[in-house]
Amino acid sequence: MSKPTLTARFLTTEAGAPVADNQNSATAGVGGPLVLQDQHLLEKLARFNRERIPERVVHARGSGAYGYFEVTDDVTAFTRADFLNTVGKRTETFIRFSTVADNLGGPDAARDPRGFALKFYTAEGNYDLVGNNTPVFFIKDPIKFPDFIHSQKRDPFTGRQEPDNVWDFWAHAPEATHQITWLMGDRGIPASYRHMNGYGSHTYQWTNAEGEAFFVKYHFKTNQGIRSLSSEQGAELAGKDPNSHQTDLLQSIERGVYPSWTLYVQVMPAAEAADYRFNPFDLTKVWPHADYPLQRVGRLVLDRNPDNVFAEVEQSAFSPNNFVPGIGPSPDKMLQGRLFAYADAHRYRLGVNHTQLPVNAPKAVSGGRAANYGRDGLMATNGYDRHAKNYEPNSYGGPVQTNEALSAPLAVSGHTGTHEAPAHTKDDDFFQAGELYRLMSEDEKKRLVDNIAGGLSQVGRDDVIEKNLAHFHAADPDYGKRVEARVHELRED
């Protein structure tokens, strides 16, 4: 067998052949036209044309880092997940922070929810926790999601985000009032990714070794303290440095100032869900801490920057259907929709074999290759035993099922069809938004009203404005009165 003769200091083609000249294209004579046979030129141009994959439809602009999660408290009474079973155990992680609505070139300091997507490389496979920096969201049924995102992103005619579209959708989605109050409040523009909380937002299921089921909500509390920007500060920073949050995260880790978060969970015994005063699976609702106090689990620390933003941050893929034993889904409708949609988005953007990319590959199996029978498709790599079969069951010692469910089964009843979510005693679209408003100081309320009115006053249709004002009145009479007065004031100017 021949040995390699080229060292890393020599430039080669994709096929490994040496490149003689990387500064001058081949021509037909001095000063003549280029020749088709210049394989190196054609390869460079063709590769350059294909260097970018489609950006994410949502969460397009993001930053990422590696780190670890360390268990600090015993939670084995609630889950049998291996990476949570011992105090002091550490698990490698990768996180991607992001804005939601804007394109890849948008500014970091925008008034927008932030994605908080976390991958745990556990000994039982990758566990992906896909959340935001808010505990709630705008809608509670995934069938509304494409329409919601269309209303928030650039208009197909004007090519810009339109207040008419944004507020018209919200006028027809009263359940968004709670999240609007979060978004337009003081935490709507984090000062950096380090200075914001993260939430699983959805309700998930934990199952312990005895098979007992619990519903949980995740809360990552920043240890750097909450810091946010006003609308004026955000606009100024976005103009000065569109990459502000990316720069801050990169430089803090490079300096050895490692950001960290403490993970807490709220735990609800599964039997209590049916009679709880709010629908516990409604993504537009929170569980008040007085009902289900926070219980500490561990801490997340980020201590290493990616070597290549494209390869590791932009090609990172998070899917909430990546569970591990002891953790599973709940009847949360939005979560149920995302169990399909996220993985399908990655299959479109990155290909069916995206889980073989290093940032996505599980560390629980040899060589980062899943032990399954998938073989072909775009960007399939080598590494299987040439005698390995690609079907199951087989008689040749291939991997087999465990017959052990990852989580407890969810009880179902009734008839199939389209149904509204079951109503609980305190279920409406406005109560919790009003509760949040009433928690705010007088200065916080003023800034909230100014932020809402600044956008709503730009809407061209009076009926859309009136529908939105009705939502704020329903949340709290003072809330509605103040927003209405400020909108009218701005429209008269």
Tell me, letter by letter, the H, E, C secondary structure of 21-51.
CCCCCCECCCCCCECCCCHHHHHHHHHHHCC
Residue numbers annotated as active site: 59, 132
Angle at which helix 163-171 crosses helix 462-475, to 10 degrees, equals 50
As a whole number of angstroms, the distance between CA 211 and CA 230 comes to 47
Helices (H), 241-290: 244-254
Residue pointed to by tokens 């920057």: 305
As a whole number of angstroms, the distance between CA 174 and CA 434 comes to 13
* CA-CA-CA-CA torsion sign (447, 450, 455, 461): positive
As a whole number of angstroms, the distance between CA 17 and CA 241 comes to 42
Long-range contacts of 246-255 (CB under 8 A, 24+ apart): 246/63, 246/108, 248/192, 248/193, 248/194, 249/63, 249/65, 249/97, 249/192, 249/193, 249/194, 249/302, 250/63, 250/305, 252/194, 253/65, 253/302, 253/303, 253/304, 253/305, 254/305
Q: What radius of gyration do the chain's Cα atoms show?
A: 26
What's the token pair of residue 359?
């940032």
Non-local (6+) Cβ contacts of 283 within 8 A are 136, 137, 139, 140, 201, 202, 332, 333, 334, 335
What's the token pair of residue 67?
């780190």
**Dihedral angle computed from the Cα positions of residues 422, 426, 430 and 431, in that order, rounded to the nearest 10 degrees:** -160
As a whole number of angstroms, the distance between CA 137 and CA 113 comes to 9
How many other C-beta atoms are found inside a 10 Å radius of the C-beta of residue 271?
Answer: 10
As a whole number of angstroms, the distance between CA 274 and CA 120 comes to 31
* CA-CA-CA-CA torsion sign (179, 180, 181, 186): positive
What's the token pair of residue 61?
């602009």
